[in-house]
Amino acid sequence: MRKIIHNDKIFTVFNYILATLFLLIALYPLWYVVICSISGISAIVTGRVWIIPQSITFAGYKKMLEQKEIWTGYKWTILYTLVGTSINLTFTIPAGYALTRKTLPFRRAINMYFMLTMFIGGGLIPTYLWMDRLHLVNTFWILVLMGAVSVWNMIICRTFFENNIPGELIDSAKIDGASEIGIFAKIVLPLSKSILAVMTLFFAVGHWNSYFTALIYLRDRTRQPLQLVLRTLLLTSQLMTEGTNEMLNQNMIDLQNMKYCVVIAASLPVLMLYPFIQKYFVKGVMIGAVKG
């Protein structure tokens, strides 16, 4: 017995080391970008920036604030996120609820109709050509409508409603003469604040982080979301870094410093909200896993 307790103690020590390793590996890359964004490039290039910022400068941030594209990128990203998330919610949540109602005729068939989309689809080119026929390419609407219904999230909602809204509650409301929409708005929704939070965040972070839809469907550079602006910046500096290895001029130096700053600017809203929202996210994953 004593030997086992001894072994368990060794295990616990190693376990702490392992957990700390996981923590540091997750944290360090993020931390590194933060310290680079306020360190002088010459200190970075000579490999002196490791753990704390060196020769502190805010030139990168200053340059970033001067870029018009960043501001318009921010503006459009916020717009796409707000409108897109609202559409996501109105399309996904009522449908998810209605599909939990067992008396609904053709419920199984409608469920199948949604589930099948996870296995079959037209793929990129047919979808693109169809959007083109609908004159949606290069419009505001394509960016907020693409992915408006997430079947996976709909399933999460359905599972939540099934497990958390007692059927008797709905039945008694019906006896009292409430309409279906009334029941949903006045009884179900107030009881479902946590799933509403989860869904809002899933969708909003998705919109905030996406660049694919804009890359494919948006040709107009003046309406680019922030992620696409960042990508353009990434590519230009990639050409420089991978292309020439010659003298660094001041403009390039500022640009490089700015790159760290833009990375932070693009992630900041999500990472700032993160401590408050992460428990909802975890909840969402758990609900999904029940049925998963």
Q: How far is CA 78 from CA 50, 55, 89, 194, 226, in A?
A: 34, 34, 16, 23, 9
Q: Which residue bears the tokens 């509650």? A: 169
Q: How far is CA 214 from CA 177, 202, 228, 232, 271, in A?
A: 47, 19, 7, 12, 23
- Least Å distance, CB 77 to another protein, is 10
Q: Note whether 83 binds another protein by CB under 8 A.
A: no
Site string for another protein, 197-216 (x = CB under 8 A): --------x--xxxxx--xx
- Least Å distance, CB 289 to another protein, is 4
Residue 60 in contact with residue 260, Cβ under 8 Å?
A: yes
Listed ranges 58-66, 165-173, 191-199, 242-250: which one lies at the site for another protein (CB under 8 A): 242-250
**How far is residue 284's CA from residue 280's CA, in Å, rounded to a whole number?**
6
Cβ proximity to another protein, 56 vs 124, nearer residue: 124
Q: For residue 290, give both structure tokens.
A: 């029940």
Number of chain positions touching another protein (CB under 8 A): 106
- Least Å distance, CB 96 to another protein, is 8
Q: Note whether 271 binds another protein by CB under 8 A.
A: yes
Q: Note whether 173 binds another protein by CB under 8 A.
A: no
Which secondary structure element, helix H or strand E, spans residue 70, and what is its range? Answer: helix 68-98
Listed ranges 29-37, 51-59, 162-170, 189-197: which one lies at the site for another protein (CB under 8 A): 29-37
Q: Which of residues 117-146 bind another protein (CB under 8 A)?
A: 117, 119-130, 132-134, 145-146
Residue 257 in contact with residue 41, Cβ under 8 Å?
A: yes
Q: Note whether 82 binds another protein by CB under 8 A.
A: no
Q: Note whether 163 binds another protein by CB under 8 A.
A: no
Q: Note whether 285 binds another protein by CB under 8 A.
A: yes
Q: How far is CA 149 from CA 1, 22, 68, 96, 226, in A?
A: 57, 35, 33, 11, 23
